[in-house]
Structure 1
Amino acid sequence: MAKSLIGQLVPLVILFIFLGALGFIGYHIYLSAAKIQETATERMGKKNVVFTKDGVRVGVKEIENEQYVDKTQSWVVKAWNLSGQAIEDKR
């Protein structure tokens, strides 16, 4: 009687050990995936990309008006100077 009871319990114990091992592996896979997601979100946030429930929102780096005017003005001045040199070269 005792042998048949032990014979029935061994497969059950093996099943519980197997399920426990699968649960342990699954839990660590979940932790790794969460860590990867957190790192990716942090890195993308530094590049002004934010994940929301509606999708992905891409932010534009703000540029101050003064910087914008300075850059635009420098290109206009360069173009003006180059056009003036071209006119002088033709004379």
Structure 2
Amino acid sequence: MAKSNVLPLILLLLFVGVLAAVGFVVYSIVQGVSKTTREKMEKKNVVFTKDGMKVNVKEVKDEAYKDRTQSVLVNMWNHTSFPAYKSRLWDMQGKDEKSGAEKRKPHSK
């Protein structure tokens, strides 16, 4: 009579063990996915908190900001033209100062 009561107990323990193993595997997979997702979102400056989602502004160092600003200004300066501007330092229109004739530009073949 004691042997017939032990078999259901062994089956119950075996079933609970399988459920625990499957639960542990699912838990570890969920934790791994959430960790990698959190790291990817933090690279994009998005953080999930208990209050909700927060988006941070990416920090830009002062020197990098000044470099970008100067680059934009230099590009704008280089791509503009001043029709009525005459430089005192050099002739921007390509005329020879002594004769008033156009300077010859070497042509490439």
**TM-score tier after normalising by the smaller chain length:** 0.5 to 0.7
- Identity of aligned pairs, percent? 41
- The gaps in structure 1 that reach 5 residues or longer are 85-91
1:12 aligns with 2:9: yes
> What is the DSSP-based 3-state SS (H/G/I as helix, E as strand, rest coil) of the residue aligned with 1:27?
helix
Bigger Cα displacement from structure 2, 62-71 vs 49-58: 62-71
Q: What is residue 45 of structure 2 aligned with on the other side?
A: 48
TM-score calculated relative to the size of structure 2: 0.57
Question: 1: distance between equivalents of 2:17 and 2:63?
Answer: 63
Runs of 4+ that moved beyond 4 A: 63-79
TM-score calculated relative to the size of structure 1: 0.65
Q: What is residue 32 of structure 1 aligned with on the other side?
A: 29
The structure whose residues are more often helix, as a share, is: 1
RMSD: 2.8
Question: 2: distance between equivalents of 1:30 and 1:66?
Answer: 46
1:22 aligns with 2:19: yes
Q: What is the aligned residue count?
A: 85
Which structure exhibits the higher relative contact order, with contacts defined as CA atoms closer than 8 Å and separated by 6 or more residues?
1
- The gaps in structure 2 that reach 5 residues or longer are 82-109
Structure showing greater radius of gyration is 2
